[in-house]
Structure 1
Amino acid sequence: MKASIPVAGLGALLLAAGAVGCGAEQSPEMTPAAAVAKAAKNTDDITSVRYRLSGTSPESGKVKGDASMRLKPTIAMSMKMTGPVDGAAETVEIRLVDKAMYLGGGAEMAKEMDGKTWLKFDLSGSDAGKELDRSGSASQAEQNPAAESTFLTSAKDVKKVGTEKVEGVETTHYTGTFTLADLRASLKGKNASIRENREKSIKQYEKMGVEKFTMDTWIDGDDHTKQFRMKGAADKGPLDMTITFLDYNKPVNVTAPPAKDVADLADLFKELDAS
């Protein structure tokens, strides 16, 4: 194996991955805050989601991607993302399955990895997995966009913008602002799972240096979030990310890449130490 390991650029794309129905309009008697809260409550029963993301990340610049994610009984995810790596647009595939993360860099990675097109990070306690987790990339890749869609409930100024179609679906558009302090305050009284998910997000946004957010949410007639957009000013540039949900609760099957195409980062570290 060559000593050069193309991890840094791919890690930046990972940081961008997190930072994600049809029917009639909601009842006119429902206040904006109540409509947003109802949609947030409906995320509790989501078992899987397919979504599209696009926008600007402070670490990665302009990115876009498509993903399928299983939330229950265990987390699994498959995503293809395009963003700048070393000044050029690159597409990578990310898979999370069986407590491991796989990064597929295609031909460019194969040049550096003796023909291997996938890089494996063991997330079950290995040194390589711990290093990835310290960078925030693992937590960001595992981030549940359905959970982040609930953040508008933290805002005290939620208002209705109007009705709009998103992906051909009639939705009601709401907007509001909140801070990380508001997000923390919203954890009171929540169950352990919700607190854990929101704490992960809060820590990631702290690392970015984002303190205040503007959020827009589009809610369909079945009281599900169809789309949300989060904007904020970070230390290293603007955050402006839109997540559009394409479907909920459909089967999501993610498999590990063929072993012959995978280089394990733990093994590469051992080789580098021995050289």
Structure 2
Amino acid sequence: MRFRTAGSGRRRRAAAAAVVAAALLGGLSGCGTESDTADAAKLTPSQAVSRAAETTTGLTSLRYRVTGTVPEHGRIRAEASMGVDPSVMRMKITGIGATTDKPVEIRFVGGALYAQADTKVLGDTTGKHWTKAAPAVWGSGTADNRSYGVLPRQLEGSPLVQSTILAGARKVRETGTETVDGTRTVHYAGEVTSKGLRKAQTAARDKKTRELRMNGLDQFLGLSLRSGSELAMDLWIDGDGRAKRFRLRGDTRGLDAKGREVDTGPLDLTFTFLDVEPSVDIEPPAADDTLDLAELVGGAPKP
């Protein structure tokens, strides 16, 4: 079965809506025009970041890159494509697994996780190249995500939602303009805490904003930061008012065998959006090349 997102019909409807909006708003377009820049210049940093949160979470598909340091893994680099409805993702990531310098491909499709693996260590004698675990969830709420330890926890959330976390900062500052991956952007920065995010959610004036703040808080909690610590976040916004890049930095924690909180090291991840609304077509690996872990253990695998 093949899963496809961002069909041509949806793009035509979106394009038609953009034309109507442009006519109603006096000729503004979504292509980073001088009118866009002038409009953005009227916004405060907090307003610009809040607008980017709304605009970015409206996307239905994305191609992106992740680089940086993840606790308990070290340096990682990944490129991925994702779709929102249905939730699908394909990623090639370097820095996890037994061979940390070799990319590993991971797919979430059809409610299952597929990962390239050496199935011989699991007792397979037929030379399969993939494992399957289900049910699996990626890109949802922190409590629902399930990658069976294959992905670092910080990569289980959707980057579209993670990009909104800065909207809950008490203060946001503009640091200048920068070119990111060939795109001119405005750079914003701030520090975020769980307490501040909860206050921002309570202070939200409407349901949509309240939901955005709630989802941002959820993704903040999914980063496993040390209790009471701040998350330093940078956000680069393009001329269309969308996130182009964001960076997350903080100290993380885990639990030892006695349930006590212990430091697990620094988190420093940068996400760059390479293409928005691409066509995303993800298929499961061939069944005869896949080892189903549920069959191996005689039941569904436990997270």
Question: TM-score band, normalised by the shorter chain?
Answer: 0.7 to 0.9
Residue identity matched to 2:186: T
Q: CA deviation at 1:140?
A: 5.6
What residue is the counterpart of 1:6 in the other structure?
none
What residue is the counterpart of 1:217 in the other structure?
235
Q: CA deviation at 1:232?
A: 0.3
CA deviation map 1:94-131 (0-9, x unaligned) = 101111111113xxx14434311111011169xxxx99
**Bigger Rg, which one:** 2
What residue is the counterpart of 1:37 in the other structure?
50
Identity across matched positions, percent: 38
Residue identity matched to 1:35: A
CA distance in 2, matches of 1:41, 1:218: 15
Number of residue pairs matched? Answer: 242
RMSD of aligned residue pairs (Cα, Å):
2.9
- Helix, strand or coil at the partner of 2:282: coil
Which structure carries more relative contact order (alpha carbon 8 Å, separation 6+)? 1
CA distance in 2, matches of 1:196, 1:116: 42
Aligned positions of 1:165-244 closer than 5 A:
165-188=179-202, 190=207, 194=212, 197-198=215-216, 200-206=218-224, 209=226, 211-234=229-252, 235-244=263-272
In structure 2, relative to structure 1, the CA distance for the partners of 1:116 and 1:181 (3 Å cut) is farther
| Match 2:103 to one of 91, 101, 107 | 91
In structure 2, relative to structure 1, the CA distance for the partners of 1:209 and 1:86 (3 Å cut) is farther
The reply to whether residue 151 of structure 1 matches residue 151 of structure 2 is: no
**Greater CA drift, 192-201 or 48-57:** 192-201
CA distance in 1, matches of 2:136, 2:214: 18
What residue is the counterpart of 2:285 in the other structure?
257
Q: CA deviation at 1:53?
A: 0.4
Q: CA deviation at 1:171?
A: 0.4
What residue is the counterpart of 1:56 in the other structure?
69
CA distance in 1, matches of 2:114, 2:155: 11
CA distance in 1, matches of 2:154, 2:135: 13
Residue identity matched to 2:175: V
CA deviation map 1:173-224 (0-9, x unaligned) = 0100011222333444555975774454244223x53631000111011101
CA distance in 2, matches of 1:193, 1:99: 25
TM-score, normalised to structure 1, is 0.78
What residue is the counterpart of 2:295 in the other structure?
267
Q: CA deviation at 1:225?
A: 0.6
What residue is the counterpart of 1:80 in the other structure?
92
CA distance in 1, matches of 2:286, 2:217: 34
In structure 2, relative to structure 1, the CA distance for the partners of 1:194 and 1:136 (3 Å cut) is farther
Query: Is the 8 Å Cα contact of residues 94 and 100 (structure 2) preserved in structure 1?
Result: no
* Runs of 4+ more than 6 Å apart: none
- Name the one with the larger helix percent: 1
Residue identity matched to 2:70: S
Q: CA deviation at 1:266?
A: 1.1
CA distance in 1, matches of 2:153, 2:99: 25
CA distance in 1, matches of 2:191, 2:136: 37
- Helix, strand or coil at the partner of 1:175: strand
CA distance in 1, matches of 2:76, 2:180: 20
What residue is the counterpart of 1:245 in the other structure?
273
Residue identity matched to 2:32: G
Question: Where in structure 1 are there 5+ consecutive unaligned residues?
Answer: 1-20
TM-score, normalised to structure 2, is 0.71
The reply to whether residue 160 of structure 1 matches residue 169 of structure 2 is: no
CA distance in 1, matches of 2:265, 2:154: 18
In structure 2, relative to structure 1, the CA distance for the partners of 1:134 and 1:63 (3 Å cut) is closer
